[in-house]
Amino acid sequence: MAEWHSTLTPHALARQLPPPDGRRPAYRTLATQVSRLVADGRLPVGTRLPAERELAAELRLSRTTVAAAYEALRADGFLHSRRGAGSWTALPEGTRPPADALHPLAPDQHGAELDLGLAAPTAPPQLAEAAAHALEQLPAYALGHGNYPTGLPVLREAVARRFTERGLPTGPDQVLITTGAMSALHLAHQSLLTRGDRVAVEAPSYVNTLRALDRLGARLVPVPFTTDPAGRASWDLDQWQRVLRGAAPRLAFTIPDFHNPTGALIDEDQRRALLAHARAAGTAVVSDETCAELGWGVPESDLPRPLAALDRDARVITVGSAGKLLWPGLRIGWLRAQPSLVRKLAADRALYDLGTPVLDQLIAARLLDAHLPAVRAARHAGLRATAEAFADALPRHFPHWRFTLPPGGLALWVSTPGLPTTALARAGERLGVRLASGARFGIDGAFEEHLRLPLTLPAALVPDALRRITEAAEAARSERFSTTDPEPMTVG
């Protein structure tokens, strides 16, 4: 359960509650609405609910009705109470999904089983030329030891140039090359955090980062997204201010560019506001830009500048990766920070990782220098085609599911009212489709009625994917499969 309890005012809770339907007792309607908000991730686990009398006055209900609703929530496991301390949202026992790992399918298995648990692209055709070019360069590097704790100069320069082109002036000495983005995040977390520190995270957020922070002993404070009338997700700045002011987290982890899993793109005004709140709270910010180049639904000229470009206090550490744009098999990531921090992190990594493979760095540098526009255009076209295929076909298969096409990113975030996606994923395993349950992307099993669909799937395979998901949904609803079987873990 979340370690820090935020407080929700009666008015703030009332704003999130839909009008009563009149078909059930008022207390049951209120209990159902609150439990749905918790399970959906819109009301974070660990949120202190208003006192019964205050909420009754706000909703114009009797205190007896609110007390009965709270009692029903406690009985169902959605509320914990302690005399003199109030009541906090929770999730029923056993809701947290298991943490066993899902190993990607071997290439020759994909015909029999469809892997929708991963949102990771295949290699671009330009990889062969880049690899050949890298092999030509390799003999010069083979004369030395091959350990470059900060990364090859040629790749650091290429990454720095791309930051500068995107509106964030950067020198090579501000770039640290790592073995994937998760390695960069690990270095940042190790440098900034000690066990027990609070970390503010978006809810939902990237599954592997949440798990890594949990393993480090961080206390995660979830901050839900808000949605506009068109269904587009964005930061809830009021919630961010409350969390940063009240919890004083050591670190805030954000994905402002084509968020994983929602695809949200945060505008510059919101970025400035969040940085102002973080500055007031003394909170450092890690900005995950692994999907920043994947704006397939918005012109590049309309993209906001990187979060660090708006940072006047050097408070932002930026993490990026070649994996989402180029190819995950290269295992190339990077971190942008002040030169002094880059040097410190390079010294820290020597305790477990002396450097990233030279050949992979040479290949990545060639792709960035010689092929980036073509790779990005092809990647955008593929992601857009799959997004449009899902948008066209999903309503026919699942008319009650809800989604909004994001402006970019690798996934479609789908609400599945009435269908727990952990059960859907278990059913899918037996019917030849691996699925990423929404609960993987929340804390304490939130977002159970959400599903992440990867846009890296070729558009031509969308009909087959939806056929298999439909079969899995029917099986999950009919409870043909045991609810105790573990759901596989997503890794990308």
pLDDT tens, position by position, 223-269:
999 988 888 899 999 999 999 999 999 999 999 999 999 999 999 99
With CA atoms as reference, report the closest residue to 438 among 425, 429, 427.
425
Using one digit for the tens of pLDDT, what is the confidence trace for 142-193? 999 999 999 999 999 999 999 999 999 999 999 999 999 999 999 999 999 9
Tell whether pTM > 0.75: yes
Side chain identity at residue 444, one-letter code: D
What CATH number was assigned to the domain covering residues 107-120+410-477? 3.90.1150.10
- List beta partners, residue 198: 219
The pLDDT of residue 231: 82
Please name the residue that has the structure tokens 């480090």: 216
Structural domain spans, the chain = 10-89, 107-120+410-477, 127-371
- 108 versus 306: which is more confidently predicted? 306
Q: How confident is the model at residue 485 (pLDDT cuts 50, 70, 90)?
A: very low
Is the four-CA dihedral 40, 43, 45, 50 of positive or negative sign? Answer: negative
- pLDDT at position 99 over 70: no
Output the six-digit token pair for 24.
């059930």
Fold held by 10-89? Arc Repressor Mutant, subunit A (1.10.10)
Residues 221 and 249 sit within 8 Å (Cβ to Cβ): yes
- pLDDT at position 65 over 90: yes
Residues 244 and 200 sit within 8 Å (Cβ to Cβ): yes
* Euclidean distance between CA atoms 221 and 241, whole angstroms: 13
* Euclidean distance between CA atoms 394 and 146, whole angstroms: 50
Output the six-digit token pair for 158.
């290429």
Fold held by 127-371? Aspartate Aminotransferase; domain 2 (3.40.640)
Which residues have a Cβ under 8 Å from the Cβ of 405 and sit 6 or more positions away? 297, 387, 388, 391, 412
With CA atoms as reference, report the closest residue to 434 among 481, 490, 353.
490
* Euclidean distance between CA atoms 114 and 111, whole angstroms: 7
Is the four-CA dihedral 27, 31, 32, 37 of positive or negative sign? Answer: positive
- pLDDT at position 104 over 60: no
Look at 4-13, 197-206, 358-367, 439-448 and tell me which has the smallest mean pLDDT: 4-13
Helix, strand, or coil here: 343? helix
CA distances from 87 to 6, 41, 42, 75, 442 (A): 11, 18, 17, 13, 21
Interstrand relation of 219-227 and 233-235 (parallel, antiparallel or unpaired): antiparallel
- pLDDT at position 295 over 90: yes
Cα–chain-centroid distance for residue 308? Answer: 19
